[in-house]
Every structure is written in C-alpha cells, then in structure tokens.
A and B are shown apart, each in its own frame.
Chain A
Amino acid sequence: MSETMKNTALFGWVFAMIVLTGIMQSWNVALLILNMGLISAIMALGVNLQWGFAGLFNVGVMGFVALGGLAVVLTSAAPVDGAWSAGGWRIVIALLAGAGTIVGTVMVRQRMATGRARNITTIAILVVGFILYRAILDPGVNAVEAINPALQGNLGGLNLPVLMAWPIGGLLAAGVAWLIGKTALGLRSDYLAIATLGIAEIIIAVMKNEDWLARGVKNVVGLDRPVPYEIDLQNTSSFVNRAEGLGLDPATASSLFVKLNYSILFAVVLVIIFVMAQLALKSPWGRMMRAIRDNEVAAEAMGKDVTNRHLQIFVLGSAVCGIAGAMMTTLDGQLTPGTYNPLRYTFLIWVMVIVGGSGNNLGAVLGGFLIWFLWVQVEPMGLWLMELITAGMADDSGLRKHLIDSAAHMRLLTMGVILLLVLRFSPRGLIPEK
C-alpha cells in the first residue's frame, strides 16, 4: 500500500468515525467534535513546529492558548464606560514602570562591573521599582474594579470585529513567547520543560487574578461571534422555510447551521496554517531546523545561529497555539480562566503530536482529530463498558455504582495507554516523518 493510500485511509477512517457519531448519536455532537478537532489540529501543528521541527520541549502550550483567549476579550469586547479615565491609564503607566524596572536592572547588570556595587544597585532598583509599581498600580486597579463589579469591573476591549482577535491572539502569544524565549531558551531540555510548565501556570494565575484585565475567575461571557445567532435564524422566515424543505425543525437546523459556519471558518484557518507549515518544512529553512534538531553542534559548526533559530521557531509555534486559543474562545463565546488545565491543554496536545507523528504536519493534524475524537467518545464508551461489566451485579451494589460513576475518568487512563502503546510499538507515530 502506498503512503498516500495509507494516509488517506487513516484520515478517511477518522472522518468516518465522526460521521458515524452523527448518525448514531446526533449531528450536533459530530459537528462539535469536528470543530474542536479542527482547533486541536491547529494546536498540534503549533507544537509540531516546536517539537517536530526543532526539538524544543515546550510544555507551556496551555499558557499560549489562554493568551489567545485573552486576546478575544481585549479585541472584540466593548470598552467599559469610564474605565480608562478612572484608572486605565494609571495601570498602563504602572505596567510601563514595571517593565522599565526590569529593563533598568538588565542594563545595570550588563553595563556595571561585577562586584558589590552592582549587586547593591540591582537590589535597590528592584525594590524601589516594585514599590513604585505597586503604588501606581493599586489605586488604578481599585478604581477600575469598582466600576459595576457585578457585570464589568474590567477595562474591556477595543470593540473590533471578533475575527481580528485571531491574528491578534497569535501576536499576543508570539510577544510573550519572545520574552520567555529570550530568558529560557538557553536552558537544557529538561529545564526548558519545567520553565515552560511554570510560565503557563503563571499566565493562568495572572488571568485569574487580574480582574481589571478580563474579570479573572468571574469570567467574561457573551463575547461577539463571527456567525449568526441561532435565535435570529429561527426568526428569519426564509431560513425556516428552507429548513422545513430539508425536513428539519428550525431549532436543530439553526444550531447545525451555526456550527457548520464555524467549521468552515476553522477549516480555512487550518488549511492556511497547514500549507504554510508544509512550505516551511520543505524550504531550506525547514531543513536547517531539522539539521539543528538532529545535531546542534554540527549545525553550529556550519555557521547556523542555533539560539536565534530556536527563538524564531518557539515564537512561531506559540503564535499558532495562540491563534487556536483565540478560535476556541470564540467558539465557546466566553473566557473562563478557571477551566484551563495543563492535562487538557498541554499534555493532551502533546499526545496528539506524538500519536500522529512528530515532525510530520499531516501526522499532527491527524493526531489532533483522532485524539480529540477519542477524548470526547471514551466517556460514553467507558460508560457502556462499565454497564456491560456490571450487568451481572445487583442493582444496589456499591461497587457497581462506583464503577459507573467513575467511568467519566476513563479518558485520562485511555490517553495514557494510547500514548504508551504508540511510543512502544510505533515510536514515530501513525504518519512518520519522511
């Protein structure tokens, strides 16, 4: 069987499973899986850029996904009345002062000669800077958070169309990735992993705590969406007529129509990013990246700037994750910082890349769809399995109840088993790198 045939068969099989879901469960569920599968595929492409192309071990994917989500609020939400005049500018000045402190510290450390004088100056700048920063920031934050706290209490956004938030989410993630890469990319692979793990937690902590930014754990709901609302469609007579012509009731038809619109939008983004990633992989730049990955020392001896290339691809991969994060928040219509969990948003993406085939873009996309499908469907399958196992037990048996209640936790177990099986028996993934 040729390679193209095999790949087509793999993709065909995954999509057949999704179609089967549509027939057996409902088309709504199938489209939900498809939409999140598209987003997962984009995230997997981002991680594949970093790990598959360049061998960078980034386990901070969650942070960049969350930044993309934040970008949606900051771009598309309406600005809160009076927030900027009450304290918004003050916050901006405080943040600039904080950034200035750090830049000052770095400059002092670069310019001054090593010794006690340098250490004392460093500490002095940091302490004074921190006090100054808090002194400017705190009143501003209090003023902003006091504005209509039940519904707002944040700065709001720029009121731009929500589709703009996707590239902006990528840019935001890229900017933060650049800062992180500057400090952490010099570290060895293990250290980089822990560092990125920590950064992701910090990004989530900031988003949960800084209520003036995006309301923290109070969540932002009712974000703009790029597609029509179901209720508007149901009130449009032409749509209702057409739905009835297809033999669907207007409620189902409108929800399917909205989801299909999302699918088309997401598919367009996926195709664009996929084509770009493919072109990058086949270009001299992509070959250089793989050369660096396979032998850093040799690549450096050939005059390749390893540190800068790493920084470049770290920023690019993170930007892709940021775009996917913005798309996901748009799909949800709300930003809920409390729900970001590294198992779901970092390690699951890694499972997608490893299972699909690291270093191969097609593999990453396949992994995204396949693992997302399993992540959703393992739960009903587990429940079914548990009911089968416990069928012989008495109805009031405690064990039976426990087993059926625990079926929901089967998915983590299954993901681990899949990852280990693939690593053991097909370590290069379903669609290996060429």
Chain B
Amino acid sequence: MDFLNALVALSNFVIIPAIAYGSQLALGALGVTLIYGILRFSNFAHGDTMAFGAMLAVLITWLFQSMGIGFGPLPTALLALPFAILGTMALLLFTDRLVYRFYREQKAKPVILVIVSMGVMFIMNGLVRFIIGPNDQRFSDGERFIISVREFKAMTGLKEGLAIKTTQGITVVVAIICVALLFWFLNRTRTGKSMRAYSDNEDLALLSGINPERVVMYTWLIVAALATTAGVLYGLDKSFKPFVYFQLLLPIFASAIVGGLGSPLGAIAGGFVIAFSEVTITYAWKKVLKYMLPENLEPSSLVQLLSTDYKFAVSFVILIVVLLFKPTGLFKGKSV
C-alpha cells in the first residue's frame, strides 16, 4: 500500500507535470531544430513567436467566449488554435519576406542571421506587449480536471490523491498528433522529403531541382504551427504571460541542442530529458520518501535538491554535460 501511495504521489507531482512540460518543450524545440536544419541559424525569436501565436489564440478565445461559442468540456482555445496558427503563419512569412530573405540571398554568415533574429525578437516582443500588455492573462475554460484528487481517492481508497488536469491531457494528445503529422509529412510527402534533402545537403538538393524558396516557405509554415501549438498548450497549462515565453527560450534551446540540433527526433527526446530533470531536481522528495522508507529513517527536511528557481541551472548543466561528452547531441545533429 505504501508503495502504491508513493507511486501515486510521484506520478502526481513529478511524472504527469513533467510529461506535459516535456511535450510543450518538445514542440518548441522541434521548431528551433527545423529552422536550424533548413535555414541554418539559431532563431532567438522563437520564444516570442510562441508568445505571438498564443496571444492570437487568447484574443480569438475571448472573441468566441463573448459570442457564446464554447467547446463543451474542452477549452475554447482549442477552437481558436487553427485561426491563431494561420495568423502566425502570415506573420512569419511576412518576416521572412521582409527580413530574412535578404540575408539568404546574400549568403550571410549564420551568426549574422542570429543577430537579425535578435532584432525580430525585439519587434515581436514589443508587438505582443503592445497588443495585449505585459500582464498575466487567463484564457482556459471548460472542465478543469480529468480526474480530481477527491475522485481518485474515492475510486481507489488510497491516501494519496492523483489529479490530471484537462490541460495536461490535452497537451499530451495534441503533442502526439502534431508529432505524428510532422513525421508523416517529413517522411512520406514529396515536400517533406525535399525538406530533409535540403537539410542534409543543400548543394545536392539544389542540383536535383528542389526549389529552395519553397522549402523555406514550408519550413516557416510548419514552424508557425508548431510554435503556436506549443505556446497555446503552455499558456493553457500555466498561464499566458509574454515574458515567460521569452524565458522559455533557454530550456527550448537546451532541448534542441541536447537532442542534436537539426534532428527532429532528438528535439523530442531532448524536451523530455530537460523536463524530467528540471522537475525531479527541483521537487521536494519528502512525500515520496516518507512512504518508501521505514519510519525511523524518515527525512526531516524537504529533500529538495535545488530550489525551483534554479530550474534554468538544471537545463544548462545538462546542456554542458551533453556537449562535453557528445558534442553533436544525443541524436546525431549537425554543426555549421
């Protein structure tokens, strides 16, 4: 019984939140890794792209709510998501046409593109703050829990409760659908294959008649969809605050690099590695250990390895360790 209680406590506080967070990071990291693979630079504006997409979703959700359109037990934001993706796609294509294409034609060094993306980051950040303001916005509605603590306790008779938030369930389901679609697209369709070819060897791809502008356009479209989805899921799960998305840049990049920049599979693995380490290292283990250890060994402190504010440190240390031992990441990434 104690073992089951420990397991439930562990799932409730570590496993389930980490899976949800990991899915969000994985979606974000997929965007970063695709841009790196095709356009060959680290996009510093990615966090703010997520914020922009999520902001559109928030605004459309409010519009739907005011019109009385709902999605039953599911959050209205899911209905708003496709429209938000379209808006973000328009913004990214516009940015590419106006900003990035010039440097692509010049064959500028990747580091110049990184600095350019810094400028885009400023603009997007300013735009989001300008439109919706810098404050917290709540936009989740519908049922809050799939299983609440009380229901779970009544169902199983255990002392520990397990709660699964609707947003956590949705995050995982939506993430799985997105990833499945993405891999189907990359592996089965002509455009997807040409994208992979372009990423693997630009010269050979050009030689075999692949239109680079088309590849780039599709990349931005996919990145817009991924970034918006990741942003909306994160916003539903926590809450929408522009600055938080900017700060997500670090764990997202850590995920992409740990997995191997340019490798989609690596981005997903990296997302979960980072999420699980962040949550386990900053979780206070007292509750779980209380069930697992005999009474006289019960810990007196919280058994928290690091305070939650050090979660950036965790992603960073993992990043450094992986880079020192496997410079191209867990799944063979590329290096420019």
Binding site for B on A (CB under 8 A): 55, 57, 130, 138, 183-184, 187-191, 193-195, 197-199, 201-202, 205, 208-209, 341-343, 347, 350-351, 354, 405-406, 409-417, 419-420, 423-424, 427
Contact = CB atoms under 8 A, between A and B. Distances in A.
A402 to B, nearest CB: 9
Interface in B129-152: 129-131, 133-134
B92 to A, nearest CB: 15
Contacts of B66: none
Contact of A194 (B119, B130, B243, B254): B254
A190 B110 contact: yes
A201 B319 CA distance: 14
Interface in B230-264: 243, 246-247, 249-250, 253-254, 257, 261
Contact of A423 (B115, B127, B253, B261): B115
A87 B130 CA distance: 48
B122 A343 contact: yes
Contact of A198 (B42, B133, B319): B319
Contacts of A417: 119, 123
B123 A413 contact: yes
B276 interface: no
A254 B331 CA distance: 64
B191 to A, nearest CB: 27
Given A184-B320, A190-B336, A420-B119, A198 B126 contact: no
A202 B119 contact: no
B119 A205 contact: no
A188 B316 CA distance: 16
Interface string B72-104: 000000000000000000000000000100100
Among B119, B134, B247, B301, the most chain A Cβ lie within 10 Å of the Cβ of: B119
Given A194-B250, A209-B309, A411 B42 contact: no
Nearest to B95: A420
A199 B301 CA distance: 29
Contacts of B261: 190
A198 B130 contact: no
B81 to A, nearest CB: 25
Among all A-B residue pairs, the 7 with the closest Cβ atoms:
A416-B122, A413-B126, A412-B126, A416-B123, A198-B316, A419-B119, A409-B129
Nearest to B98: A420
A199 B316 contact: yes
A342 B112 CA distance: 20
Given A191-B257, A194-B42, A208 B309 contact: yes
Given A406-B130, A413-B127, A193 B42 contact: yes
Contact of B312 (A190, A201, A405): A201
Interface string B309-323: 110110110011001
A257 B256 CA distance: 53
A385 to B, nearest CB: 12
Contacts of A198: 250, 254, 312-313, 315-316, 319
Given A190-B36, A198-B319, A347-B122, 4 more contacts: A57-B111, A197-B249, A201-B316, A420-B119
13 contacts: A183-B320, A194-B253, A199-B316, A343-B246, A409-B134, A411-B126, A412-B122, A413-B130, A416-B125, A417-B119, A420-B119, A423-B116, A423-B119
A190 B250 contact: no
Given A57-B114, A198-B312, A187 B42 contact: no
A190 B114 contact: yes
A47 to B, nearest CB: 12
A197 B250 contact: yes
A202 B312 contact: yes
Contacts of A341: 243
Among B110, B123, B305, the most chain A Cβ lie within 10 Å of the Cβ of: B123
Given A194-B42, A198-B319, A201-B312, A188 B250 contact: no
Among B257, B305, B323, the most chain A Cβ lie within 10 Å of the Cβ of: B323
A193 B114 contact: yes
Given A190-B261, A205-B310, A409 B319 contact: no
B60 interface: no
A194 B123 contact: no
Contact of A415 (B112, B122, B127, B313): B122
A310 B99 CA distance: 31
Contacts of B112: 423, 427
B118 interface: yes
A411 B313 CA distance: 30
B201 interface: no
A416 to B, nearest CB: 3
Contacts of B187: none
Contacts of A415: 122, 126
Nearest to A194: B253
B129 A195 contact: no
B122 A205 contact: no
Contacts of A342: 246
Contacts of B257: 191, 194
Contacts of B279: none
A350 B115 contact: yes
B307 interface: yes
Contact of A205 (B99, B126, B127, B309): B309
A194 B121 CA distance: 15
A411 B129 CA distance: 11
Contacts of A189: 110-111, 114
Contact of A420 (B99, B129, B310): B99
A234 to B, nearest CB: 38
A417 B42 CA distance: 20
A347 B124 CA distance: 14
